[in-house]
A and B are shown apart, each in its own frame.
Chain A
Amino acid sequence: MRRPGAALLLALVAPCAAAQLAIEITGAGAQRIPIAVAPFPGEAALGSGLSAIVRANLERSGLFRVLELPPLSPAPTEASAVNYVEWRARLADALVVGSTAARPDGRFEVRFRLHDVVKGADLSGVAYTLAREQARATAHRISDYIHEKLTGTRGVFSTRIAYVVKRGERYELKVADADGAGEETALVSSEPILSPAWSPDGRRLAYVSLESKKPVIYVHSLADGRRQVAANFKGSNSAPAWSPDGRQLAVALSRDGGTQIYLVAPDGSGLRRLTHSDAVDTEPAFAPDGHTLYFTSDRGGSPQIYRMPVAGGEPQRVTFEGSYNVSPRVSPDGRQLAHITRRNGRFQLAVMDLATRQVQVLTDSDRDESPSFAPNGRMILVATVVGGRGVLAAVSVDGRVRQRLTVSAGDVREPAWGPFTN
Chain B
Amino acid sequence: MRPIVFPAALAVAVLAGCASTPGEEQSPVPVEDRQPGTTGAAPAAPGAKPQPVAPGAVARVDLTAGKPSAPNPLKDPASPLSKRSIYFDYDRYDVKEEYRPLVEAHARYLRENPGAKMLIQGNADERGSREYNIGLGQRRSDAVRRMLILLGASEAQIESVSLGEEKPVCTESNEACWAKNRRGDILYQGEY
Chain A interface (Cβ < 8 Å from any Cβ of B): 2-3, 5, 7, 192, 194-195, 210, 213-215, 234-236, 238-239, 252, 254, 257-259, 280-283, 296, 298, 303, 324, 326-327, 340, 342, 347, 369-370, 414
Contact residue range for chain B?
20 to 34
- A371 CB to closest chain B CB (Å) equals 10
B111 interface residue per 8 A CB criterion: no
Apart from A239-B134, A254-B160, A280-B132, 12 more pairs, CB < 8 Å: A5-B35, A194-B166, A195-B130, A213-B119, A213-B121, A214-B119, A215-B161, A259-B135, A259-B139, A280-B135, A283-B129, A369-B129
Which residues of A lie under 8 Å from residue B129 when comparing CB positions?
Answer: 283, 296, 303, 326-327, 340, 369-370
B142 interface residue per 8 A CB criterion: yes
Which residues of B lie under 8 Å from residue A347 when comparing CB positions?
Answer: 127-128
Chain B interface (Cβ < 8 Å from any Cβ of A): 35-37, 119, 121, 127-132, 134-139, 142, 159-164, 166-167, 187, 192
Would B132 and A236 count as touching, CB distance under 8 A? no
Would A254 and B128 count as touching, CB distance under 8 A? no
If A214-B121, A236-B134 touch, does A254 touch B127 (CB 8 Å cutoff)?
Answer: no
Which residues of A lie under 8 Å from residue B128 when comparing CB positions?
Answer: 303, 324, 326, 340, 342, 347
| Bound CA–CA A258/B122 (angstroms) | 12
Q: Report the tally of A-B residue pairs with Cβ distances under 8 A.
A: 107
Would B161 and A254 count as touching, CB distance under 8 A? yes
Would A236 and B130 count as touching, CB distance under 8 A? no
If A215-B134, A283-B129, A303-B132 touch, does A254 touch B119 (CB 8 Å cutoff)?
Answer: no
Q: Which residue of B lies closest to A216 (CB)?
A: B161
| Bound CA–CA A239/B138 (angstroms) | 14
B134 partner, pick from A252, A303, A369, beta carbons under 8 A: A252
| Bound CA–CA A303/B131 (angstroms) | 12
| Bound CA–CA A7/B8 (angstroms) | 14
Would A214 and B161 count as touching, CB distance under 8 A? yes
If A254-B142, A258-B138, A258-B139 touch, does A235 touch B159 (CB 8 Å cutoff)?
Answer: yes
| Bound CA–CA A170/B37 (angstroms) | 19
A192 partner, pick from B167, B187, B192, beta carbons under 8 A: B167
| Bound CA–CA A384/B136 (angstroms) | 21
- A45 CB to closest chain B CB (Å) equals 47
| Bound CA–CA A30/B110 (angstroms) | 66
| Bound CA–CA A79/B129 (angstroms) | 54
The list of the 7 closest CB pairs from A to B, nearest first, reads: A280-B135, A214-B161, A192-B166, A259-B135, A326-B129, A213-B192, A239-B131
| Bound CA–CA A258/B134 (angstroms) | 11
- A280 CB to closest chain B CB (Å) equals 3
Would A215 and B162 count as touching, CB distance under 8 A? yes
Would B135 and A215 count as touching, CB distance under 8 A? no
Would A238 and B131 count as touching, CB distance under 8 A? yes
Would A259 and B134 count as touching, CB distance under 8 A? yes
| Bound CA–CA A254/B132 (angstroms) | 13
Would B134 and A5 count as touching, CB distance under 8 A? no
Would A5 and B36 count as touching, CB distance under 8 A? yes
| Bound CA–CA A298/B93 (angstroms) | 13
Which residues of A lie under 8 Å from residue B132 when comparing CB positions?
Answer: 280, 282-283, 296, 298, 303, 326-327
